[in-house]
Amino acid sequence: MRYWFALLAWILVIFLFSTNSFSSAQTSKFFVPALKFAFPFLSPEQLQVGHIIFRKAGHVSEYFVLGFLAWRALRSANNHGIRLWLLSAGLVLLVALSDEFHQSFVPSRVSSIVDVGYDCVGGIAALVVLSRFRNETRTIYSHPVL
């Protein structure tokens, strides 16, 4: 049950990130000055590109966490193998699409199918890492210790 609670809590966090409080105008107030401090030689245009990169990295990282939490919760419901992977990826896609739909109603936000792509890259990256890790540990533990 705690795996499902963590998953639902993270989905709520994602929807919180879709509010006006985390719009580009709001995050630029913090990140553009931080980038300017760290890289004083950057032009205003370069600072804006840095801010965009930061925001897109945010999409990837928050959905990486979602992919992991989805995999963990769905695995606890006795899903395994390709079924677990597909259900987890489907949940990531569903949350990404609903999040962008939600943003279409927030005046300071823009809904973008491109952002769904960034979200899915993050979620699927988590599933790939988990799949790779699970295969490696299975291989390690299947060999006798010499």
The per-residue pLDDT for range 75-127, each reduced to its tens digit, is 887 878 888 999 999 999 999 999 999 998 988 888 899 999 999 999 999 99
Give pTM, 2 decimals: 0.81
Q: What is the 3-state secondary structure (H, E, C) of 14-30?
A: HHHHCCHHHCHHHHHHH
What pLDDT sits at residue 135? Answer: 62
CB atoms within 10 A of CB 72: 17
pLDDT band per the 50, 70, 90 thresholds, residue 140: very low
What pLDDT sits at residue 30? Answer: 83
State the average pLDDT over residues 10-36.
84
The pLDDT > 90 percentage for the chain reads 52
What pLDDT sits at residue 21? Answer: 72
pLDDT band per the 50, 70, 90 thresholds, residue 138: low
Residue 35 scores a pLDDT above 60: yes
In the block, residue with structure tokens 């879709």: 18
DSSP string, the chain: -HHHHHHHHHHHHHHHHTSGGGSHHHHHHHHHHHHHHH-TT--HHHHHHHHHHHHHHHHHHHHHHHHHHHHHHHHHTT--HHHHHHHHHHHHHHHHHHHHHHHTTSTT----HHHHHHHHHHHHHHHHHHHHHHHHHHHHHHSPP-
CA distance 24 to 29: 9
